[in-house]
Amino acid sequence: MSRRTRRKQGEEKTKHSNATTIRKKDLRHKIISLMSKSPAKTCNYKEIAAKLGINGVGNRKLIEQILREYTVSGKLTEVQRGKYKLKDKTAYIIGTVNLTTKGYAYIVSDKLEEDVLVTQRNLHRAFDGDLVSVYLYAKRDGMQLEGEVIEIIKRNTKKIVGKIEISRNFAFLRPLDRKVPYDIFIPENETKGAKNGDIVSVEITEWAPRAKSPTGIVFEVFGKPGENETEMHAILAQYDLPYSYPQKLIDEAEQISAEISKEEIKKRIDFRNITTFTIDPDDAKDFDDALSLVTLENGNYQVGVHIADVTHYVQPKTNIDKEAIERATSVYLVDRVVPMLPERLSNFICSLRPNEDKLTYSAIFEIREDAKVVDFNLAKTIINSDKRFTYNNAQEILDKGAGEFYEELNTLNILAKKIRKKRFTKGAVNFERTEIKFNLDDKGEPLGIFFKDSKDTNRLIEEFMLLANKYVAELIGKTKNGKKPKTFVYRVHDKPDSDKIAVFKKFIKRFGYNLATANRKETSQSLNNILREVKGKAEQNLVETIAIRTMAKAEYSIDNIGHYGLSFEYYSHFTSPIRRYPDMMVHRLLFDYLNGGKSRSEKKYIDLCKQSSKMEERASRAERDSIKYKQVEFMQDKIGEVFAGVISGVAEWGIYVEIIETKTEGLVPIRDMNDDYYVFDEKNFRIIGKRRKKIYQLGDKVEIEIIKANLVKKQLDFALVE
């Protein structure tokens, strides 16, 4: 062998030994990700190696092998010898990761009606909420569409909340959210003074290619678990919701004048001498709607639905408006409200407080005694509320048949009942949930749980708000001669999925209820009958909860598909601009269009609708978590006590039971059910004992003992009592 040949072999050997060995799994992902960025382009293994910066004979051979495997599986086409490209240019989509607590995810994309299933090993470090590019696998008959994340386009920027565990030279975050399947490594100097066991939020800074965990820094320390302020702030942070208002914007709001000029009053219809009042919860401070009543000479009634004219004070593109867009909604936790607008606006300037002149945007109806609307107008107005009622004291006046403004309250109540009856006759669904409320002490600790049912005064306000929302939507959406309506913000609710209806129908049969589903009207009427029958029974909360889950989610959209639950062809949100940004959008669009304005940008309002729907969902989840936390906190000193319950969920790891007395849910772990070996029957919502054939199924009444309360996880563990 010549010296030159030996030198060349030595160079190749050195080159091969210095190259980093890459796992086949990682290399497959890199190759498909690279080729998906230019799906029409052909390339060979050398070009791929160069673009990926991969050296070494072994690694290049591995690239060749993967390319051949992808060709056999149908992902790639060999255009000519050694030249490959993606077989289908449309074989990938961009969507948002929706992680499940089991580790796998569904990718939600506007381009597909069906969500794409991605297993945990094919997520390639994607987090919940990340915007990703996904390669779609060929769909098999009757199977869920599956895919693989090939690129993380945009990380979900929200902070991750959890409990910090501090070691000598580093720390780890154990996330509270079960949708985050990774612990987060925190360098020793990035703990921000947190102590072991504290609840903190962490911002991810990097995820090194070969690291098992992402690296992050502590962004904020909330404090010790189990303390009210710690837990409430942690809940808000977990959903990337604010828990305070920026001082800069508070100062900006302080500069807004509350004075109403004579020139402004001249532009408006004056309702200040007409009987007007508000009806709100006991603890409300942001009164954004009021009702007025006048009996007309023809015997009809003029009912004014007066809504706070927030957009008079909050102008587009101001800092306060931009902040309102980001928040999109006020957040209502058990012990606090995190407002969408600074308190000077929400609780003072815009709030329709009694005996103060207030600017309003009003839906003015002429209504016959039979509750038929014969005329409707929309106008900028000024009011002066005569009275601030709570739901309770207004109800007392109705119940007694006497008191301040009894005649007006009674007339409005009679009209509301007639309007309500017509609505249900047309197919509206009566989702009237029992609200869980808490008696709290000064520290926010729960002293008791009670339940709040809707009364006549609640329904009175509800019906007139629904009426106003319906009529303003019709004003823009209902056009003549098939003309395309102007861009508008609708509150839409799609019809329920037929498969979910079938599952619900099967579920309620075990309680002795039958759902008729021949047509839309029959389905809604039958559902209303069931919801009425279940009132006061042990299974009430369970049946109501499953019924709501059966329905599609309401959302904001510029594409009007109607509102299934309300049985309205046109519906919007107009009546709560202090606490909902969509209502502010609607106010601006209405005022603009009624003064001759041209149709607004669809793209702008599509984006605003998506933002509002997203933030509404986050706020709703945060509210539910705060309720769960308080329920567990209330029950933690009742360990060892026995309660009656209903099986509210069945899973392979155990059965969930809801305590009837407090509507608090806990888990009976299947591993602790030692009397038999239980098998999960997913199809029939039950577990079955192998030997004794004992069955525990959804809806069964059981007795449980409270074994453990975990405040951090907002979780109770139960044991069955035989």
Give the 3-state DSSP-derived string for 624-691, with helices as H, strands as E and coil as C: HHHHHHHHHHHHHHHCCCEEEEEEEEEECCEEEEEECCCCCEEEEEHHHCCCCCEEEEHHHCEEEECC
Q: Which residue has the tokens 């072991």?
A: 196
Residue 111 has pLDDT above 80, yes or no: no
CATH topology of domain 639-720: OB fold (Dihydrolipoamide Acetyltransferase, E2P) (2.40.50)
SS3 17: helix
Is the distance from CB of 272 to CB of 383 less than 8 angstroms? Answer: yes
The per-residue pLDDT for 142 is 67
548 forms beta bridges with none
The per-residue pLDDT for 10 is 45
The per-residue pLDDT for 542 is 78
Confidence of residue 17 (pLDDT cuts 50, 70, 90): very low
Same fold, 15-86 and 639-720: no
* Out of 90-104, 310-324, 601-615, least confident range: 90-104
Average pLDDT, the chain: 89
The per-residue pLDDT for 141 is 67
Residue 89 has pLDDT above 80, yes or no: no
* Most confidently predicted of 196-210, 527-541, 583-597: 583-597
- For 10, 189, 196, the CA distances from 192, given in Å and listed in that order, are 52, 8, 12
The per-residue pLDDT for 25 is 65
The per-residue pLDDT for 87 is 67
Which top CATH class is 15-86?
A: mainly alpha
The per-residue pLDDT for 40 is 63
> Span 160-224: which CATH code?
2.40.50.700
Domain ranges of the chain: 15-86, 92-154, 160-224, 248-491+566-625, 496-551, 639-720
Residue with the bigger pLDDT between 649 and 13: it is: 649
Residue 572 token pair: 């919007």
The per-residue pLDDT for 508 is 84
Residue 13: partners with Cβ closer than 8 Å, 6 or more residues away: none
Say how far apart CA 697 and CA 679 lie, in whole Å. Answer: 12
CA angle 270, 275, 276 (to 5 degrees): 80
Burial 398-435 (b: 16+ CB within 10 A, else e): beeeeeebeebbbebbebbebbbeebeeebbbeebbee
* Out of 178-192, 257-271, 303-317, least confident range: 178-192
User: What is the average per-residue pLDDT within 686-708?
Assistant: 91
The model's pLDDT over 434-484, given as tens digits with 9 standing for 90+, comes to 789 999 998 889 999 998 888 999 999 999 999 999 999 999 999 887 789
**Percent of the chain clearing pLDDT 90 (strictly above):** 58
Q: Which residue has the tokens 């019809």?
A: 495
With CA atoms as reference, report the closest residue to 490 among 429, 568, 417, 437: 568
The per-residue pLDDT for 59 is 77
The per-residue pLDDT for 6 is 47
The model's pLDDT over 346-362, given as tens digits with 9 standing for 90+, comes to 999 999 999 999 999 99
The enclosing H or E element of 583 equals helix 581-594
CATH for 92-154 (2.40.50.140, 3.40.50.12780, 2.40.33.20, 3.40.1160.10): 2.40.50.140
The model's pLDDT over 390-419, given as tens digits with 9 standing for 90+, comes to 999 999 999 999 999 999 999 999 999 999
The per-residue pLDDT for 643 is 96
SS3 666: strand
